[in-house]
Structure 1
Amino acid sequence: MSDLYEAETLAIARQLWTASHESRNFFSQLREHIRIEDERLRVQLFRLIDCLLSLRRKTEVARHLQEYLRDPAVELPEGLTNS
């Protein structure tokens, strides 16, 4: 079952990648402005993406976003920090 899950996850990632190159959507704009070189940040963002479909309210999304990105090991790119 994990092979099927991984295959479906990769298929979704490819669709998002293709869509971000074809249009000026949120993902396209994000890709142009932020280079995610920090592996820990990438992992946290993938964790967030993984659970997004199960979140029903904006407050749940905000709580998860804060939880994942407040990890002290994660270095946010300039422009995503308060300083």
Structure 2
Amino acid sequence: MATRNEWRKDQNALTRDILERVDSIAFSFDLSGRNKGCTLNHLDGSYGYITLQDALSGDWRVFDYTTDEVLATYNSISAVIKGGWKVST
């Protein structure tokens, strides 16, 4: 199976919208029952999250969903998207 190089434009637009607005539902609800923040999917199939506190302060740190380790730090929402992340839907 071929790997993806980027998410669809509508997925990127939704990610930008949710992160810009710090959408309360996206940051407070998770189907797994383990809410850590806004859950993200990466192009490589991994999962991460951004905490509500980081989003409110404009710190775009992405944590590994399982280990809670910082995977990457970005200086903007655009950089998060270019880094291969999208909001889980």
The TM-score with structure 1 as length reference comes to: 0.25
The TM-score with structure 2 as length reference comes to: 0.24
Q: Quick check: which one's helix share is greater?
A: 1
Q: Quick check: which one's strand share is greater?
A: 2
